[in-house]
Structure 1
Amino acid sequence: MEIKIENYYEYVNKENIEKYLVCNICDKPLIEPVMTPCAYVFCRRCIEKSLDDHCARCSSYTKSKHLVVLTDPDILIELDNIQVKCKLCEQMDIRRGYFQNHIYEICPKAIITCSNNENNCSWIGLREELSTHLTTCSYQSSTLDSQKEKHGKFFPYLNIDLQQRNLQNHDVAIAVKALLINQRCTSLDLFNKKISSESASIIASVLDNDILLGIISFRNNLLCDSGVQFIAHALSTNFHLQLLDLNNNSITDIGVRLLAEMLKTNQTLIKLTLSYNRISNEGMTILVDVLINNNSTLRWLSLAGNSSINDLSTHSITNLLRHNTSLTTQKQ
């Protein structure tokens, strides 16, 4: 996986950066600057991506082999001295040339693996949590370098397919936490990852402040009512998530009551699926009440496969569809 360090920082006072330090393609300060034969300067990645045998600025004939690495020490020093802000820990005024060291060795909010990873320790977490973990780590090595033990190994989770990685329960929860902290994720499919209520609490701890995630699926996991409590509490103050899939999580009427409380304040969720749980007519009544009296934004609700919901709930469903005009689909 290519690690793009620039994904982790943003520029401070970008408007004050000298124009000759800025790439002519991306309009950002140069990274790995190269010069074309016609003397225009670009980031290497930018020019190689856009190069079609012609310069992106003057259209003169140019190939990758014609690019010359910029070696002017004064310009390189100026580029290194540009001030950036870490997106993870929000530390200000870090020299860009020093930022890689910040992420790999210092940033308390960087996701890292345990220093004993090579000894098969599977722990993943924030750097600020490493020292606590090491007090109980059973994979300690007497030969481990003290600096390596202190820093851990940077783990660059950005936008990844969790279904392609062999992670479950706690490990997948930490990975999700990294994704949300990095503000890089718009959709999460956590199907069949054995996520427990404890792991749900880890995910929920950053879910309330997320501004990009629009879809999250916990389908076929082990949340139960206790896990739903954490998710519902987080979504009470999350105003961006639109689809929540909680199918097949052993949720009962207790969990439904927690979700109903969340729906009283959450006005962005438009799809909620609760199929194949352990919800009864009582849970159905709870949902009907909140959707009639407190929520007009949910448009799609699924309760298919809840065997304890029977014909006695027909009146509640009819009442719901009569009074809640925003709910277009109610699947039982």
Structure 2
Amino acid sequence: MVIRLTGIGVGLLLVLALLGASIALGKQAIPLSEVYRSFVHFDGSREHLIVQTVRIPRALIAMAVGACLSMAGAIMQAVTRNGLAGPELFGVNQGAAFLIVIQLYLVGSLSGSQSIAYAFIGAGAAGALVYMMGTIGSSGLTPLKLILAGSTINLLLGALTQGILVFDEQSLDTMRFWLAGSLTGRSSAVLEQAAPFMIAGVVIALTMGRQINLLSLGEETAQGLGLRNGWVKGLALVAVILLAGSSVALAGPIGFVGLAVPHVTRYLVGQDYRWVLPYAAIFGAILLLLADIAARFVIPSQEISAGVITALLGAPFLIYLAQRRE
């Protein structure tokens, strides 16, 4: 336990270091001393405004989104007992994106609070639909049925979203950067609106460590040990919707974070989800902070989306996992 607690402490220190790097680095590098002065002696200068209104919200959003997506992925892989599961499996990402695109098509624009509200409604509706489809049949909810239902809904919503964007150029221009998984242009006000949902999802997830441990042993084994499988799966679905829905609302459907980080976490700390979940949150925050920093320098003339970086890192990892499971 001492080693694991030490690891959490070291991880948190690394997160803080990367937060500082994310705030200081960019097209215009800002010394850490100037970052500090923007807190204690804000003078309204250009550098101070960049730090307070652009860099700090962006770094905090990257940290929060990375942590939430990783925890959501860890829960899904445990519940489905499928190492290829991620937040995309329940159609949560696509459900959020689909409803936002629908509203943009009908209304033309959305405020930050509206996008969060529509993202949660879409994510919740998609997650609930997948859950209900997975319970159809005499065998009840099984990991295989959950995966099939989630994949079907995910593909359907993705196709509908792309269809709307093809026929509506204005929505395409508004959404294409967000759909690539971008952390730019997000204000602290939007983070404050999403924070209660993120915190609720994190709290639920951290309190489910023991139940997830039992569920990962198998349906019959967990039930024999007195676990109410249906309630645990339902609560896990709520946690995933809160974690992934808030992340999609803030940064768009960033992929592969929820897939890759839980594998790395289990490799380092074992299968005990009382430790896997907090470690996944830390590693997820580290990964997305690194991806966002890298996104600023990959192409010197312009900045790309952090979601592109995670895709470049995650695609080979996904291929490796698929080959290993053959």
TM-score if structure 1 supplies the norm length?
0.20
TM-score if structure 2 supplies the norm length?
0.20
Instruction: Name which structure has the greater RCO, CA cutoff 8 Å, separation 6+.
Output: 2
Name the one with the larger strand percent. 1
